[in-house]
Every structure is written in structure tokens, then in C-alpha cells.
Structure 1
């Protein structure tokens, strides 16, 4: 885990990036680890560990070898970062990559005067088999990995392509944030809590994570439709979110 000098600035405004989160207990399950993983679903500002209310999702699934299974009924209510979230234990019956995906209920954000809906994914490999690591689920918006989204060292590059309605999004804006568990990391400026990169003309973005841990990538676009709030039509932010685990370098 990295540690940066924390400079306290009382006048600074807190970062406002939101992330849907699916965090598994193990992104690379081996035979020695058992046959099941625990997953935690939440909605938060992950660097500050500032939880927000996650209502029961519209959908929660796992996709393996082209087959998608509904897991919504397996979710248990839980408190995550002091706010409502969900947990479940799921058995990985077969080798290969299992892709967990959540479609949340749109969330009204007064600060942005808009609704937010983050289509969130996390990839987990089972039993030493990474087949299916580049699976695209056909979500309304999603980040399709061009780099295997597990088995990465801190400092490795992660690349993905931003899709909206099945097509790449040229020059999409992607927010990147570290899940700062235990508040072990600090920043010299609040501007560094959420980093931002832009995709190229083909919708491809690149980021090198400077430290081990979970990193969230959120590609943000505006839906063509609006939603009503207190009698007014409001914009809907569609977020394509993927969580990627980077491992600490191990020396013999």
C-alpha cells in the first residue's frame, strides 16, 4: 500500500465522484482458497470511504462462459461504509472468468441536479483459468477491458474501451479513483483524489495505477432521455464502472 504525505486544507471542498462498487473477497480464487467468494455491493466516494445509500439494484448477475445467471435474490442487506448496501456469498462452480454486474436504481444527486446510474462490473477468475477475461456483457454502457482486469502488478497499465449503447465513445471522459480502505493513503491536494483521463478517438483509454489495491474506472456520459424530479425534467448520467485489482510486487 502506498502512503503519500497528507496536506490538510480546511477550506478545500471534498471530492464528489460517485462509484457503484462490487468488491470481491478474492479476485483470483485458487483451489486452495475454497470454492466461494464474498462480494460487497455499495455506492460511495471510495477514496474517502464515504458511503451513500444503495437501494436494492434493478439487476445483479454473474456471467460465465456466455451464460448469465440472476443473483438478485441472493443479496442480503448490509451496512457498508455506514450506509445501506448488500453482500452475498457465491460459489464458483467452474474454472474461468466470472463477471459480476450490477444495474442500480437511478440515484438523485442534488449537487449535480441530475440522476446517476452506474452500470458496475467486476471480473473474478477461478482456479487458475482466465478464459473470458475480456467478456462484453451488452450492458447499456460498459467498459470492455483490453487489459486483463486481474493479475496486474501495481504500476501496470490498464486499458479499456468505453461503450455506450453497444458502440465505442470517442474521447469519453473516464474518472479514476482508489478504494482507500482504512484511510491508509493521503493526497497533497484534493484534485488528486479523482484522476481523469480521456479516451482516444476509438474510445480507448489508458491508466497506470501507482499502487496496489482496488481501482475504480468510471466512464461518464449523458443519456438521451430525461427523468422527472419534482415536476421538472432532469438529466441522467450513465456511468460505465469497472473495478480492477492491482497486486503489490512480491520479491523472493
Structure 2
């Protein structure tokens, strides 16, 4: 998780010993037609490999930003058991109240997770964006998080075959040389059953997809397939210790890509 400064952000396929951890904020749709409560699953998992699911503690924060206004949604979070392909794990269900047109930037600030195999804590501060009636309002504005990925393309309007770019921020400032793990949600969870589904693609032969931010904190990745893509900026946050151990404070962003028809 060391930071290496490079002049350009190139996506590469790098083998790693461990599977990529990703905190999911999963909804069945990101483009919302009708007003109402949108169900969401908060799951700490390996969605590309359909792998091991990790137990989550209650989030420190769960909120949304709409038209610049922040709304606390912790009263909409409830504990649940996620049924993975290989194990069951503590997770959470939630809902997002989508009423007026515009963007709904949803944020989870999780309690740090202790990764015993690495003897470190991991805190993946996660964003995703829902939209109603295709009116853009908030997607390109920072959420004021300790660390976050600010999208440079509308995250719910990405076309397969195009590229997606983002800038990694720490305390509001771009961070060069950050390692970005990139994950395809090959096994989308069934929110009604709160269980894993079958994988739609196989494991990457070269291991985890990795990009590095350039001198301006920017990375770019070509989108090869429709669906949900996650980007995790490893150790990009300002906090580096928790309970006397190393903390990797990561910024996670989920986007949705569609085929041009």
C-alpha cells in the first residue's frame, strides 16, 4: 500500500496475494424513475471473485447529499446477514429517499475492519451516486470526506468503450501516486434474498486490476463491460493508525456503465 509517484495514470493488471476488499453500496438501479425509497445493501465483500464476505460493524455514518444539502440516513440502516457463495457475514440493509429530480450522492463511513492476515485495519469510505430524471446536480462536487474519489465523468452515465476518470482527494487536496484497485461487480447481490448470485465473468488471469494516480491525483480507466465498477484508492486518507495498528483509510467510488444502443 505504499504510494509511488508516476507521471501518468496507467491501468495495469498486477498479481496480488489477497483478493480485493470492496465495500458495496448496491442498488438494483442507479437511474430512478419514480420517487420513493430505494433499497440498498451495504456489504463488505469480494464481488468480482464472488469470494469471502467480511463481517461489518455498524457504520459510523451513512448519509446522502442532494442539491448540496446533507441528510443523515443512519435511522434507515438495519443489521442483516448476507449469504455469500462461501460464507455468511454481518452486513446491513438501508434505503435512500429519492424524491425530487437530481443527484443523490450516498456515503458510507464504515467502522474500521481488522484484517487479521495483514495485521492492519481497513476503512473504506464509500460513495455512489443515484440520479432521478437525468438532472445533474451534485455528482462533480466534493462531499467533504477525509478522502474521496471525485468523478470527472458522470458516474451513472458511462458508456462501455469509453474511459472513466477520477481525482483522488485527501482533506480536499489531490493525491499523486495513489494505487487504485479496480473491481467489476461480477456477482451482483440479490437484495430481496440478501444473497450472492452467480458470477458473470471469471477471475482476471493477471490478478487485481490496478491504476496509479498521476501528479495531479488523476487516474483513467477504459471501461470494457457494462455493469458496476468499483475504484478503491488505497491508503489515500489522512488517518494512518487505529487502536495502535496501521490503518489503510481508503476512498471507494462505485459507477455504472451501460452499452450504447
TM above 0.5, one fold?
yes
Shift of 1:176: 0.2
Give secondary structure in 2 for the equivalent of 1:56.
Answer: coil
Q: Name the TM-score, length of structure 2 as normaliser.
A: 0.83
Shift of 1:247: 1.2
Matched residues in 2 for 1:73 and 1:125: separation? 22
Shift of 1:165: 1.6
Q: In the TM superposition, what are the counterparts of 1:158-237 in structure 2 within 5 Å? A: 158-181=164-187, 182-187=198-203, 189=205, 191-192=206-207, 194-221=208-235, 223=238, 225-228=240-243, 233-237=244-248
Give secondary structure in 2 for the equivalent of 1:112.
Answer: coil
Aligned to 1:45: 46
Identify, as 1 or 2, the structure richer in helix.
1
Give secondary structure in 1 for the equivalent of 2:134.
Answer: coil
C-alpha contact 1:30 1:128 (8 A) present in aligned 2: no
Shift of 1:95: 0.6
Shift of 1:24: 1.6
Aligned to 2:93: 87
- Which of structures 1 and 2 has the bigger CA Rg? 1
Distance change (3 Å), C-alpha of 1:160 and 1:13:
closer
Distance change (3 Å), C-alpha of 1:94 and 1:210:
same
Aligned to 1:21: 24
Matched residues in 2 for 1:28 and 1:227: separation? 37
For each residue in 1:16-44, what CA deviation from the matched residue of structure 2 results, as whole angstroms up to 9, or x when unmatched?
2111110122111124xx53321111111
Aligned to 1:30: 33
For each residue in 1:40-75, what CA deviation from the matched residue of structure 2 results, as whole angstroms up to 9, or x when unmatched?
111111112231111110000011011111111111
What's the Cα RMSD here? 1.8
Give secondary structure in 2 for the equivalent of 1:73.
Answer: helix
C-alpha contact 1:97 1:125 (8 A) present in aligned 2: yes
Q: Give the structure, 1 or 2, with the largest relative contact order (CA under 8 Å, sep 6 or more).
A: 2
Matched residues in 2 for 1:90 and 1:240: separation? 21
Aligned: 1:151 with 2:157 = yes
Of the structure 1 ranges 212-221 and 15-24, higher mean CA displacement relative to structure 2 is found in 15-24
Shift of 1:14: 6.5
C-alpha contact 2:152 2:165 (8 A) present in aligned 1: yes
Of the structure 1 ranges 82-91 and 207-216, higher mean CA displacement relative to structure 2 is found in 82-91
Structure 2 unmatched runs, 5+: 1-14, 188-197
Matched residues in 1 for 2:125 and 2:203: separation? 28
C-alpha contact 1:42 1:85 (8 A) present in aligned 2: yes
